[in-house]
C-alpha cells in the first residue's frame, strides 16, 4: 500500500490551457448548453466578457485530477467542495495544485486551487481522501 503524504506536503502542479475545442467537448459531453462556453459573439456582447469562459465544473475536474493523480493510488476521494473566486477565459493557463492540511489514521484532507500565472486564484477547494 502506498503511503499517504504528511501535513504540508504539496501536489505536483498541473498546468492546463484548455482550447476552444476542449471547452466545446466539455459542454457537449455534459449537455451544459450555456452559450458563454461556446458562442463567442454572444459572450463578448453579453456582460462584456473578454472571451469564452472556462467552465467552473471543468475547473472542478482539474482539481480532482490534480488530487487523484497525487493521492489516488493510496486513497479514494470521498468528498470535495469548491467555489469560484474569479473568471477564467479561453486562452488563460491554469496552474492547479494543492497541499495536505490534516492527516489521521483513515486518510488526509487537502486544500486545492487553480490559479493563473499572475497569481489570481480562480477556484479553490477542499477534499477528503480515505485509505483504500
- Distance between CA atoms of 120 and 57, rounded to whole angstroms? 18
For strands 94-103 and 14-16, give the pairing.
Answer: antiparallel
**Residues 72 to 131: which contact other proteins by CB under 8 A?**
76-84
Among 40, 44, 51, 61, binds other proteins (CB under 8 A): 61
Helical segments of the chain, H only: 20-30, 40-45, 56-71
Please identify, using beta-carbon distances, which residue of 6 and 26 lies nearer to other proteins: 26
**Residues 34 to 53: which contact other proteins by CB under 8 A?**
34-36, 39, 42, 46-47
* Nearest C-alpha neighbor of 124 from the set 70, 66, 78, 68: 66
Q: How far is the CB of 37 from other proteins (least distance, A)?
A: 9
Residue 106 has a CB neighbour count (10 Å cut-off) of 12
Answer yes or no whether residue 33 interacts with other proteins by CB under 8 A. Answer: yes
Q: How far is the CB of 121 from other proteins (least distance, A)?
A: 15
Contact residues: other proteins, CB under 8 A: 16, 22, 25-26, 28-36, 39, 42, 46-47, 56-58, 60-61, 64-65, 68, 76-84
Amino acid at each position: 500500500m502506498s503511503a499517504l503524504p504528511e501535513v504540508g506536503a504539496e501536489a505536483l502542479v498541473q498546468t492546463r490551457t484548455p482550447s476552444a475545442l476542449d471547452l466545446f467537448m466539455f459542454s457537449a459531453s455534459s449537455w451544459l448548453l450555456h452559450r458563454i462556453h461556446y458562442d463567442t459573439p454572444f459572450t463578448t456582447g453579453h456582460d462584456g466578457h473578454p472571451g469564452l469562459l472556462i467552465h467552473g465544473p471543468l475547473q472542478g475536474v482539474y482539481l480532482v485530477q490534480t488530487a487523484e493523480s497525487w493521492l489516488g493510488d493510496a486513497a479514494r476521494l470521498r468528498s470535495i467542495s469548491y467555489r469560484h473566486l474569479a473568471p477564467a477565459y479561453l486562452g488563460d493557463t491554469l496552474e492547479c495544485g494543492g497541499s495536505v492540511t490534516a492527516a489521521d489514521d483513515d486518510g488526509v484532507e487537502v486544500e486545492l486551487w487553480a490559479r493563473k500565472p499572475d497569481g489570481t486564484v480562480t477556484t479553490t477547494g477542499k477534499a477528503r481522501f480515505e485509505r483504500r
